[in-house]
Amino acid sequence: MAKIKMVTPIVEMDGDEMTRIIWKWIKDILILPYVDLKTIYFDLGLQNREATKDQVTIDSANAANEYGVAVKCATITPNAQRVQEYNLSTMWKSPNGTIRAIMDGTVFRAPIMVKGIVPYIPTWEKPIVIARHAYGDIYKDVEGYVKKGGKAKLLLEDEDGQREIEIFDFKKSGGVVMGMHNVDASISSFARACFNYALDTKKDLWFNAKDTISKTYDHRFKDIFNEIYENEYKAKFEEAGITYFYTLIDDAVARIVRSNGGMIWACKNYDGDVMSDMVATAFGSLAMMSSVLVSPTGKYEYEAAHGTVTRHYYKYLKGEQTSTNPVATIYAWSGALRKRGEFDNLPELQAFADKLEKATIQTIEDGYMTGDLAALYKGENEVHKLLTEDFLKKIAEKL
């Protein structure tokens, strides 16, 4: 069989630990035999980030913006223990944070659904995609404690002059105060990323805030989404047969629980933090979540939602074999290959991505899976718990 040709390279961001091992296996077993793979390779492994003073992360993010499609392996975000373990000169920043800042993107996370792995909410038949705003609010707040008898005021200063708003008069008791912000530019980028992703995946978009209570702050989010929708996306949504729906966050939660899934659920930063963990847990496992960062200009970076699976890596280093789930990393590759095929008009490459995902799902549905899934499986087939490499070979047979 002739290998499938590519035109433009994918930006490849290699990573750390167990996922770095799996990265190579996926390429060797599932991609290189079928695709004449073209990538521009960046080694984001912690040793190389140290050696390049983290320049490699910045270069890779710039390349993602230039070429339009990237695929990223999970990477270590160093803490004090990692600084010792890897003898680092400094505690390098989270690569995901650096890449997100350069691409100015929104992260979309969707569960990968398989027959036999039943969500805790059984009516959720279709995946729920969470889009989380990744800037501001309480993650960039300032806080303080005011003693009894004190006062807290908000001082606003702009070209119209100064305005002072009393927050609270702590006459009878001391208490806490918080100041937080967001910016129109970031909210607009978030809104456009959500609208583009909805069009791209042909899914309805839901957005929610608490504008009845927060009449300026949350209302601003609602207004910006609404204005961008009316001016730039309404016609495109109607043509695609999808809808944009705004509601209050509490109403959204109630409706989501009663729904069959299938929508993109756009959330403010804190709401997204909480709701993405709820959705991931309810659907079964972080190793069965796909994740993609989409920039407002339509550049894509695909990754797995989980980390480098350190505990399994230490076993691997001792020569033990592990049953680490590679599905989210396979989906990062298939997502990137499909998007590259779409941009370069290569139907064969797009079809390959579809077949790779289908073979992965069917292999699990036939009863062949890694240990984490074997523990959750409630299907009809006999369960075969496989080591990671054997699972990948089983998928290759199907493919």
Among 54, 273, 344, 365, binds Mg ion (CB under 5 A): 273
User: Nearer to ligand NAP by C-beta: 96 or 182?
Assistant: 96
Residue nearest to ligand NAP (CB): 307
Does residue 278 belong to the site contacting Mg ion (CB under 5 A)? no
- The span from the CA of 112 to the CA of 289, in Å, is 6
Least separation, in Å, of the C-beta of 39 and ligand NAP? 18
Exposed, middle or buried: residue 368 (CB in 10 Å: 0-12, 13-18, 19+)? buried
Contact at 8 Å (CB) between 323 and 22?
A: no
Among 290, 325, 334, 350, binds ligand NAP (CB under 6 A): 325
Strand order in the sheet with 300-304: 39-43, 10-14, 69-72, 300-304, 289-294, 106-111, 129-132, 264-267, 205-209, 244-248
Residues numbered 210 to 249 that lie near ligand NAP (CB under 6 A) are none
Torsion angle in degrees (nearest 10) through CA of 280, 286, 291, 293:
90
Residue 249's binding partner out of Mg ion, ligand NAP, none, with CB under 5 to 8 Å set by partner kind: none
Among 324, 334, 360, 363, binds ligand NAP (CB under 6 A): 324
Identity of the residue numbered 220? R
Does residue 290 belong to the site contacting ligand NAP (CB under 6 A)? no
Residue 373 Ramachandran class (φ > 0 left, ψ -120 to 50 alpha, else beta) = alpha
Q: Are strands 39-43 and 10-14 parallel, antiparallel or unpaired?
A: parallel
Does residue 295 belong to the site contacting ligand NAP (CB under 6 A)? no
Interface map 343-382 toward ligand NAP (x if CB under 6 A): -----------------------------x----------
Stretch that binds ligand NAP, among 154-162, 167-175, 309-317, 353-361 (CB under 6 A): 309-317
Identity of the residue numbered 224? I
Cβ-proximal residues to 95 (8 Å cutoff; 6+ apart), any chain: 13, 44, 49, 57, 72, 75, 77
Does residue 44 belong to the site contacting ligand NAP (CB under 6 A)? no
Interface map 79-118 toward ligand NAP (x if CB under 6 A): -----------------x----------------------
Residue nearest to Mg ion (CB): 273
- State the residues that interact with Mg ion by CB under 5 A: 273
